[in-house]
Amino acid sequence: MSGTAASMHDAHHEAPTSFVRKYVFSTDHKMIAKQYIFIALFWAFVGGLLAYMFRWQLAWPETPVWGFGWISEDADFMPTGRIGPEVYNALITMHGTIMVFFVAMPLLLASMGNFLIPLMVGARDMAFPRLNMLSVWVLATASLILLASFFVEGGAAAAGWTGYPPLSAKVDYTGVIWGIDLWLLALALEFASFLMGGINFLVTPFNMRTRGMSLFRMPLMIWMIVIASVLFLLSVGPLIAGAVFLLLDRNLGTSFFLPEGGGDPLLWQHLFWFFGHPEVYVIFLPALGVMLEVISTFSRKTIYGYRPIIYAVLTAGVLSFVVWAHHQFISGLDPRLATPFSITTILISVPFAFVVFSLLATLWKSSIRLDTPMWFAIGGLSIFVFGGVTGIFNGSATVDIFIHDTLFVVAHFHSTLFSAVFLGGFCAIYYWYPKMFGRVMDEFWGKVHFAGTYLGFLAVFVPMHLVGVGGMVRRVADHTKYDLFIPLQPWNEWMTVAAIVLFLFQFVFAVNFIRSLYWGREAGENPWGGTTLEWTTPSPPPHGNWPGAIPEVHNAPYEYGVPGIDGEWVSQDQPAP
């Protein structure tokens, strides 16, 4: 079957020559991947800027944010650069929404999925290139709507990124008029974009693999993208329904979530979190895929337990559908439900412990090269373990009685998501940048960027766990209004300074990224010593991905250190040793 599919897609398309068809409305998966990266990096900058602003407010409440002092006294928004509680609520809401839906998903799933699936499975392009183009432009539309919501009357959405009704369901409760409607619209479009993308991410690996690329010879990165796409497609339905209900409640006077009309606020939480936990893996699994690829390549060692890792991740994926109420232990849910959900939640640690142990075993008796991508992979793994173990506290319903809605929870999910989105995302960019642009990013500045990001992260989020244990509640704009938190306030200042340093280090990355486009070292086909198919074609690959025929596959991926071979590895397209 793969033979016929491959030959069918061998039919050569001409490369587009006009600027618009090549760079703007392109159907080439590699260009679309770059477009996703630029959308994600733009939003990452905005999300980081918002974080800077609300961290300023937390450290030095009601003082003008440095850099915003020029705003006039009569302005509706941040007069004289001061952040009040209204603006603060909008900032944290938009920060969460942006980072999860407009950075994490485009950067990890969409851009890496688009770039890597055809190159890794041996296809000329994605299965549905026009649908692919549509998905990126729907996301661009969603981005414009979300951006516009900052500037409408009443300001941007301010009901938390989780948008719990009744707060989000009535204008009177928040004072936000258009903001939440636009927020819901942007989210709905983002989901539509990823539904289209998800179809491509499933159909391409299943139907368009080259000859010899059996399912269990696919690189783990592809497996992770496939599993993430399945999780997304299966979980997003309830949330779309919830978003429609909320729009109706806001605009047409229905009462799905309003108790005075017979609705139930908890219904939204069920719909939201039924999606919410699989969504964590939608974000995390591609990052895990990156770590697996990079750790195997740079340790020159085959993955310890390729198939069991796939089964473990599938198990975690299935479990992720029956854990959602761990966000709701103290929400007023029947308390007898807490223990079953606590058990399923904590059980997720078993498959992920399996994956972590497999990665550690992969490093054992290996031959490690500490290039920039490897630093990000190891750093990401290290912080992911940190986020994993702090998750056990949150997974316990009993401990949740105290730490729910404290900064401990915020610190926990930043450990998992920051390690996935940023350490994993940067890892992917440093690793595949040579393939995308034909040049290697600067190693020295890459390592500086890693050191600043890794240590900066720890400097912000380790103390955040501690103040959370001290009881400091999240989503509060000024902790000095509480006697209990005043002694902890110096830590707020420390975390803000550390966050600013962390943010500034990202400019090292930005400069390196742009500079290397022109002055980076030429990459050649295979700069890192990878075994998978994307390293068998020139960098950047031409339109259609391989100048000649698509290579055939004869080996499993990650065949490093195979006994009896001459070099260090056997690439997937080489004859079996």
The per-residue DSSP string of 69-93 comes to: TTS-TT-SSSGGG---HHHHHHHHH
Question: From the CB of 364, what's the least distance to other proteins, in Å?
Answer: 6
Nearer to other proteins, 84 or 438 (CB): 84
Interface with other proteins, residue 447, by CB under 8 A:
no
Given the rule CB under 8 A, which of 107-115, 126-134, 167-175, 419-427 is the region that contacts other proteins? 167-175
Show contacts with other proteins in window 558-577 (CB under 8 A).
560-563, 568
Which of residues 233, 247, 451, 473 is near other proteins by CB under 8 A? 473
Show contacts with other proteins in window 140-159 (CB under 8 A).
158-159
Nearer to other proteins, 160 or 238 (CB): 160
H or E segment and range at residue 560: strand 559-560
> What six digits make up the tokens of 274?
């039924």
> What is the distance between the alpha carbons of residues 409 and 67, in angstroms, rounded to a whole number?
30
Cβ atoms within 10 Å of 454's Cβ, excluding its own: 22
Nearer to other proteins, 122 or 463 (CB): 463
The per-residue DSSP string of 110-173 comes to: IIHHHHHHHHHHT-SS-S-HHHHHHHHHHHHHHHHHHHHTTSSTT-B--STTTT-TTTTT-HHH
Which of residues 160, 238, 438, 529 is near other proteins by CB under 8 A? 160
- Whether cis (ω within 30° of 0) applies to the bond prior to 540 is yes
Question: From the CB of 80, what's the least distance to other proteins, in Å?
Answer: 19
Nearer to other proteins, 101 or 560 (CB): 560
Question: From the CB of 231, what's the least distance to other proteins, in Å?
Answer: 22
> What is the distance between the alpha carbons of residues 455 and 270, in angstroms, rounded to a whole number?
36
# chain residues binding other proteins, by CB under 8 A = 98
Given the rule CB under 8 A, which of 228-236, 315-323, 375-383, 507-515 is the region that contacts other proteins? 375-383
Show contacts with other proteins in window 68-107 (CB under 8 A).
84-86, 88-89
Question: From the CB of 195, what's the least distance to other proteins, in Å?
Answer: 29
Which of residues 389, 504, 514, 576 is near other proteins by CB under 8 A? 389
Bridge partners, residue 439, by sequence: 522
Show contacts with other proteins in window 494-513 (CB under 8 A).
none
Show contacts with other proteins in window 329-358 (CB under 8 A).
330-332, 335-336, 338-339, 342-343, 346-347, 349-350, 353-354, 356-358
Question: From the CB of 464, what's the least distance to other proteins, in Å?
Answer: 11
Question: From the CB of 518, what's the least distance to other proteins, in Å?
Answer: 30
**Which of these, 12, 102, 105, 125, lies nearest to 50 by C-alpha position?**
102
Question: From the CB of 574, what's the least distance to other proteins, in Å?
Answer: 16
Q: What angle do CA 265, 266, 271 make, to 5 degrees?
A: 110
H or E segment and range at residue 357: helix 349-363
Show contacts with other proteins in window 113-132 (CB under 8 A).
none
Stated length of the chain: 577
Which of residues 10, 264, 525, 552 is near other proteins by CB under 8 A? 264
Given the rule CB under 8 A, which of 202-210, 260-268, 498-506, 516-524 is the region that contacts other proteins? 260-268
H or E segment and range at residue 261: none
Question: From the CB of 520, what's the least distance to other proteins, in Å?
Answer: 23
> What is the distance between the alpha carbons of residues 38 and 35, in angstroms, rounded to a whole number?
5
Nearer to other proteins, 58 or 110 (CB): 58
Long-range pairs of 204-208 with CB within 8 A, sequence gap ≥ 24: 204/117, 204/118, 204/121, 204/123, 204/126, 204/127, 205/117, 205/121, 207/1, 207/5, 207/127, 208/2, 208/5, 208/6, 208/9, 208/118, 208/121, 208/123, 208/127
Show contacts with other proteins in window 404-433 (CB under 8 A).
404-406
> What is the distance between the alpha carbons of residues 466 and 455, in angstroms, rounded to a whole number?
17
Which of residues 220, 282, 477, 495 is near other proteins by CB under 8 A? 477
> What is the distance between the alpha carbons of residues 292 and 184, in angstroms, rounded to a whole number?
35
Which of residues 466, 497, 501, 517 is near other proteins by CB under 8 A? 466
Nearer to other proteins, 489 or 537 (CB): 489
Nearer to other proteins, 177 or 469 (CB): 469
Which of residues 259, 490, 524, 542 is near other proteins by CB under 8 A? 259
The answer to whether 457 touches 418, Cβ cutoff 8 Å, is yes
H or E segment and range at residue 225: helix 220-251
Interface with other proteins, residue 283, by CB under 8 A:
no
